[in-house]
């Protein structure tokens, strides 16, 4: 069985579909996950970073409910973001669970501008920041203070602007300063009630498309749960990150989330390619009359496909694991080196098993590529809804586990029971499908016919193409 499994693995390595899967996985991990890790490591002094360690030991409060302060924070932050999106004409939305950017038409931009005017009371030049404050720069440092370069300081030499250390002045309460005279995004007061704000956001959401950043689902997720990246960490999150997740656990969850949509579909290509190769290469008549048990053949192929699919998933986070472990060593905190393996096997492995087993069963049954179509449909319609991307809100029949934040360990643990049931169910479904595939394969080997005409196994088949 082992030698057959190894030969099946080798067959997979010769498949273009497999390398396509690896390439997509690699690009996704590099573009999304690795970038996020680097970005998080660059902003360790930012109170919103999971790495942030408050010198005074004071962290943000947990806004569990939408009280007046939370409402205000939501309005201010969402309006700032909308202003920024308007200026760049680049709006975030989540059509497939992943963030995308959209450009609005001139008419739509005008509508957004009107809403911004209503929200902030600012005119267009103020919002664009063309009238004021362009000549004031600041560098924020931890603890809320900032070095501020006031107008008139610094000199131009050979066309370059040079600021000497003495040109910068330290200001303790930087937030107050920037609200009054900093970036235009910070220099406004909300002009509408919370209800009117929600109405405007709904209309903006309608303009951008479904599941934009301004949908109520996303706003409440960002500003009511305090688990998305750009909200300051609470003490509980800080403790969870360093004491429960041991740093790497949070990144392992985030890594699994990043690749979850890929493993919901692409492994089907690998399995279909392998299981359908006998027919494409006209090999069935040479393999069917062999003495090896059908269960052993199917299991060897299933195990080979799962192994080869899991291999890059396990290898790709090694770089970030080394980086994170190094960071933890410098910081003197404990890093969980097995976190990636644990999360990958708990979260990703069951999904891989299910997708591969669906592809295996359908391919053995139909002997065509319809498994790819089916898993494509599952990918389109079987993804968890966007309100689950922050994690914790698990359903029994979710095919993938989303957790698009480095925080949220506590929320995951609150629903761990459902998570375990979900993964167990997915695994059980996968093994059931493999069992069915064995039965169907055995029936076919003994001359059973499900869909094919009499001209099937070894009967006037076409010659094998050079690449199959």
Residue 459 per-residue DSSP state? S
SS3 1: coil
Structure token digits, residue 320? 């970030």
**Helix, strand or coil, per DSSP, at residue 156:** strand
Question: Interface with other proteins includes 103 (CB under 8 A)?
Answer: no
- Residue range at the interface with other proteins (CB under 8 A); choices 25-33, 108-116, 410-418, 450-458: 450-458
Q: Which residues contact 28 (CB under 8 A, 6 or more apart)?
A: 258, 259, 262
| 21 vs 200: CA distance, rounded Å | 42
Question: In the beta sheet, which residues pair with residue 162?
Answer: 155
Binding segment for other proteins (CB under 8 A), chosen from 23-31, 41-49, 246-254, 454-462, is 454-462
Per CB under 8 A, 454 contacts other proteins: yes
The secondary structure of residue 165, as a DSSP letter, is: G
Query: For other proteins, which is the closer residue by CB, 18 or 409?
Result: 18
* 151, 329, 448, 450: which one binds other proteins (CB under 8 A): 448
Which one, 9 or 344, has the nearer CB to other proteins? 9
Supply the minimum distance, in Å, between the C-beta of residue 458 and other proteins.
3
Among the candidate windows 228-236, 311-319, 322-330, 458-466, which touches other proteins by CB under 8 A? 458-466
Give the nearer residue to other proteins in terms of CB position, either 287 or 315.
287
| Helix residue ranges per DSSP H, 367-451 | 370-381, 409-414, 416-445
| CA 246 centroid distance within chain | 21
Residues 190-219 that bind other proteins (CB under 8 A): none
Q: How far is the CB of 284 from other proteins (least distance, A)?
A: 8
Decide if residue 461 touches other proteins (CB under 8 A).
yes
Instruction: Report how far apart the first and last C-alpha atoms of the chain are (Å, whole number).
Output: 24
15 vs 260 by CB, closer to other proteins: 15
Site string for other proteins, 270-309 (x = CB under 8 A): -------x---xxx-xxxxxxxx----x------------
Question: Of 432, 437, 428, 430, which is closest to residue 297 (Cα–Cα)?
Answer: 437
Among 57, 152, 332, 447, binds other proteins (CB under 8 A): 447
* Least distance CB 455 / other proteins (angstroms): 10
Pairing, β 137-140 against β 100-102? unpaired
**Site map 416..445 versus other proteins, x via CB under 8 A:** -----------------------------x
CB of 279 to other proteins, least distance (A): 11
For helices 216-223 and 194-208, give the axis angle rounded to 10 degrees: 120
Interface residue with other proteins among 42, 100, 103, 459 (CB under 8 A) is 459
Using CA atoms, how far apart are residues 185 and 193, in angstroms rounded to an integer?
19
Give the one residue of 55, 107, 160, 466 binding other proteins; rule: CB under 8 A. 466
> In this structure, what are the phi and psi dihedrals at residue 339, rounded to the nearest 5 degrees?
-60, -45
Report in angstroms how near the CB of residue 352 gets to other proteins at its nearest. Answer: 25
With respect to other proteins, which residue has the nearer C-beta, 410 or 461? 461
CB atoms within 10 A of CB 22: 20
* Consecutive H or E run containing 235: helix 235-239
164 binds other proteins (CB under 8 A): no
Does 3 bind other proteins (CB under 8 A)? Our answer is: yes
**At 146, which helix (H) or strand (E)?**
strand 146-149
Are 212 and 91 contacting, i.e. CB atoms less than 8 angstroms apart? yes
Min dist. Cβ of residue 298 to other proteins (A): 12
Torsion on CA atoms 38, 40, 42, 46, rounded to nearest 10: 170
Among 139, 216, 446, 450, binds other proteins (CB under 8 A): 446
Contact letters for other proteins, residues 4-33 (x by CB under 8 A): x--x--xx--x-------------------
Cα dihedral 317→425→361→357 (10° resolution): 10
Q: Tell the smallest beta-carbon distance from residue 364 to other proteins (Å).
A: 16
* Cβ atoms 401, 264 nearer than 8 A: no
Q: What is the C-alpha separation between 337 and 325, in angstroms, rounded?
A: 7
Q: Of 223-231, 248-256, 322-330, 459-467, which part binds other proteins (CB under 8 A)?
A: 459-467
Shortest distance in whole angstroms from residue 294 CB to other proteins: 10
Judged by CB under 8 A, does residue 451 bind other proteins? no
Q: Is 457 in the site for other proteins (CB under 8 A)?
A: yes
- Total of residues contacting other proteins (CB under 8 A): 36
Query: Which spans in 276-391 are helix H?
Result: 277-280, 284-287, 294-315, 318-331, 339-343, 349-366, 370-381
Tell me the backbone φ, ψ of residue 92, rounded to 5 degrees: -85, 140
**Contacts to other proteins by CB under 8 A:** 3-4, 7, 10-11, 14, 277, 281-283, 285-292, 297, 445-448, 454, 457-468
């Amino acid at each position: 069985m082992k030698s057959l499994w190894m030969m099946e693995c080798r067959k997979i390595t010769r498949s273009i579909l497999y390398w396509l899967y690896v390439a997509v996985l690699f690009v996704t991990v590099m573009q999304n996950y690795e970038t996020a890790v680097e970005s998080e490591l660059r902003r360790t002094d930012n109170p919103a970073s999971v790495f942030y360690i408050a010198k005074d030991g004071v962290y943000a409060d947990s806004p569990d409910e939408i009280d007046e302060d939370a409402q205000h924070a939501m309005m201010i932050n969402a309006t700032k973001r909308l202003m920024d999106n308007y200026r760049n004409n680049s709006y975030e939305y989540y059509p497939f669970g992943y963030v995308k950017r959209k450009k609005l038409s001139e008419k739509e931009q005008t509508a957004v501008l009107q809403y911004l005017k209503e929200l902030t009371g600012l005119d267009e030049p103020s919002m664009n920041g063309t009238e004021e404050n362009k000549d004031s720069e600041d560098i924020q440092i931890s603890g809320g203070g900032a070095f501020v370069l006031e107008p008139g300081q610094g000199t131009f030499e050979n066309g370059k602007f040079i600021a000497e250390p003495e040109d910068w002045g330290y200001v303790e309460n930087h937030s107050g300063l920037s609200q009054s005279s900093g970036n235009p995004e910070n220099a406004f007061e909300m002009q509408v009630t919370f209800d009117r704000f929600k109405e405007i956001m709904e209309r903006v959401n309608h303009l951008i498309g479904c599941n934009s950043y301004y949908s109520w689902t996303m706003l409440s997720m960002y500003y009511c749960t305090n688990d998305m990246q750009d909200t300051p960490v609470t003490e509980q999150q800080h403790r969870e990150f360093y004491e429960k997740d041991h740093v790497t656990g949070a990144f392992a969850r985030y890594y699994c989330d990043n690749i979850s949509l890929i493993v919901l579909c692409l492994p089907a290509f690998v399995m279909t390619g392998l299981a359908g190769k006998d027919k494409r290469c006209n090999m069935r008549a040479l393999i069917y009359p062999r003495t090896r048990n059908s269960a052993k053949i199917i299991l060897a192929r299933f195990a080979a496909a799962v192994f080869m699919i899991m291999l890059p998933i396990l290898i790709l986070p090694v770089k970030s694991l080394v980086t994170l472990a190094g960071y933890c060593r410098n910081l003197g905190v404990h890093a969980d080196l097995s976190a990636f393996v644990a999360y990958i096997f708990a979260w990703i492995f069951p999904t891989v098993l299910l997708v591969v087993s669906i592809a295996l069963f359908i391919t053995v049954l139909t002997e065509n590529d319809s498994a790819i179509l089916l898993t494509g449909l599952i990918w389109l319609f079987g993804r968890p809804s966007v309100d689950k991307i922050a994690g914790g809100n698990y359903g029994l029949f979710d095919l993938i586990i989303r957790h698009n934040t480095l925080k949220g360990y506590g929320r995951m643990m609150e629903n761990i029971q459902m998570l375990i049931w979900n993964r167990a169910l997915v695994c059980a479904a996968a093994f059931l499908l493999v069992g069915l595939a064995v039965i169907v394969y055995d029936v076919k080997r003994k001359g059973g016919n499900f869909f094919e005409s009499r001209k099937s196994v070894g009967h006037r088949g076409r010659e094998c193409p050079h690449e199959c």
